[in-house]
Amino acid sequence: EDQVTQSPEALRLQEGESSSLNCSYTVSGLRGLFWYRQDPGKGPEFLFTLYSAGEEKEKERLKATLTKKESFLHITAPKPEDSATYLCAVSGAQKLVFGQGTRLTINP
Amino acid sequence: DGGITQSPKYLFRKEGQNVTLSCEQNLNHDAMYWYRQDPGQGLRLIYYSQIVNDFQKGDIAEGYSVSREKKESFPLTVTSAQKNPTAFYLCASTPRDRDRPQHFGDGTRLSIL
């Protein structure tokens, strides 16, 4: 069965303190891995798609990487406006599976 | 701007009542999806439709029903058979290619009166 596990569940950082969020997956036939950002009371907002191991994508302070077993979302020198829940989703041969998310809080 | 519109933003259901959540998209996407989001859990698929007049059950379809009479619209009805309907409901769409990311609306929060 396809599975996606995100860690940690919650992460609190000081402004400027870099860190990484993890998305571990087991899937038959990876077709794509997606990262989303979700603000409270809103729908997820698309950030990145990664298709193959070794691929990297960057956007402002965020960088997503992919291996055969996991993906990392690196956040460099975060600001309070980066506070949100970050969701990972994996598209396998059968369907799309979402992780439970990491709730990121950046304190000023 | 193209996007997905969900309404209402908040909805209250009385016991024994059916309620319908609206989802409209102007992205010209073929596929549309309904998810349920509960605290601490990933999004769970309720129903999806890849083409007009056709839809399939997802992982948690019991107590829900849908229709797809127009490409732009995919309403979800939460029936009285759904005993625990309190949740955040999200509608999404994609082009027919499943390798493309899903675009989401801003959700409807359903609560029990």
pLDDT at A75: 98
Are the beta carbons of B90 and A32 separated by less than 8 Å? no
Of B42, B45, B103, the CB nearest to A99: B42
Q: Between A and B, how many residue pairs show a Cβ–Cβ distance under 8 A?
A: 52
Chain B residues close to A46, C-beta within 8 Å:
101-103
> B50, B97 in Cβ contact below 8 A?
no
> A88, A99 in Cβ contact below 8 A?
yes
Are the beta carbons of B109 and A51 separated by less than 8 Å? no
Please provide the DSSP assignment of B6-28 as one string: EE-SEEEE-TT--EEEEEEE-S-
Distance CA(A24)–CA(B95), nearest Å, equals: 26
pLDDT tens digits, A54-103: 999 999 999 999 999 999 999 999 999 999 999 999 998 778 899 999 99
Are the beta carbons of A100 and B109 separated by less than 8 Å? no
pLDDT at B96: 75
Return the higher-pLDDT residue of A45 and B113. A45
Which residue type, as a one-letter code, is found at position B30? D
Distance CA(A25)–CA(A70), nearest Å, equals: 6
Mean pLDDT of A44-51: 96
Of B41, B99, B109, the CB nearest to A91: B99
> A97, A6 in Cβ contact below 8 A?
no
